[in-house]
């Protein structure tokens, strides 16, 4: 007896299942990031992530195997998102600083939390090292046209530009001093311009 198989329907069902699986995985990663941001620790419980993602812990484990693999995946997603958020417009340092400050407004508290955990958590230490390198590259990209060519002087100037635009500088001005975003941008621009035109 010959049974006809509708290959188009089968392909569609497989594709639909894969899309649903990918959506569930994305929801779990998003939930892990949200849980970390809410609880301000990497010691997040799978039950908290599962509840936030509207899935079971078993589903989380089926997708990631264990908590460490989930955290690593969530961190990579977060790092990619941060790079995209901080992407500066070309040849416009003032606009680039505005982009950076918007990033700090969105992620600054989380970044400060990660920095505070650096001595206790090797994962936080790795994330912070990656973040520091990324911020230094951002500074080089934004101010490249105005940096000196001589390597030692260039490196020296980049060092102080990194400090002038660092998340701790944002914290001092925005959270501790209580300045507006516009005022923080003004102060960072004042510092960077002073350094570049000295």
- Please give the structure tokens belonging to residue 12: 């569609």
Return mean pLDDT, the chain.
91
Q: How many helices (H) and strands (E) does the chain have?
A: 9, 0
Both tokens assigned to 2 = 């010959």
% of the chain beyond a pLDDT of 70: 94
Q: How far is CA 49 from CA 21, 23, 73, 167, in A?
A: 17, 15, 13, 27
Residue 9: Cβ-neighbour burial (10 angstroms; 0-12, 13-18, 19+) = exposed
pLDDT digits (tens, 9 = 90+) for 164-184: 999 999 999 999 999 999 999
Residue 13 CB burial class (10 angstroms; 0-12, 13-18, ≥19): exposed
In this structure, which CATH number among 3.40.50.880, 2.40.37.10, 3.40.630.30, 1.10.10.60 belongs to the domain 8-75? 1.10.10.60
User: CA 86, CA 168: separation in Å to the nearest integer?
Assistant: 16
Contacts of 33 (CB under 8 A, 6+ apart): 74, 77, 78
Q: Can you give the residue ranges of every domain in the chain?
A: 8-75, 86-198
Kindly report, residue by residue over 46-60, the tens digit of the pLDDT: 999 999 999 999 999
Tokens 């809410």 belong to 38
């Amino acid at each position: 007896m010959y049974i006809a198989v509708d290959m188009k329907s089968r392909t569609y069902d497989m594709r639909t299942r894969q899309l649903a699986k990918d959506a569930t995985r994305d929801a779990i990663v998003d939930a892990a990031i949200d849980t970390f941001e809410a609880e301000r620790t990497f010691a997040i419980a799978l039950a908290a992530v599962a509840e936030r993602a509207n899935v079971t812990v078993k589903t989380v484990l089926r997708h990631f195997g264990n908590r460490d693999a989930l955290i690593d995946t969530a961190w990579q997603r977060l790092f990619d998102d941060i790079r995209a958020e901080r992407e500066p417009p070309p040849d416009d340092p003032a606009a680039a600083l505005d982009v950076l400050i918007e990033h700090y407004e969105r992620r600054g508290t989380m970044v400060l939390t990660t920095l505070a955990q650096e001595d206790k958590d090797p994962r936080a230490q790795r994330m912070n090292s990656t973040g520091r390198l990324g911020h230094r590259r951002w500074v080089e990209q934004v101010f490249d046209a105005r940096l000196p060519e001589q390597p030692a002087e260039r490196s020296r100037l980049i060092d102080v530009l990194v400090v002038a635009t660092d998340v701790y500088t944002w914290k001092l001005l925005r959270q501790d001093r209580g300045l507006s975003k516009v005022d923080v941008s003004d102060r960072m621009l004042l510092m960077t311009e002073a350094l570049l035109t000295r």
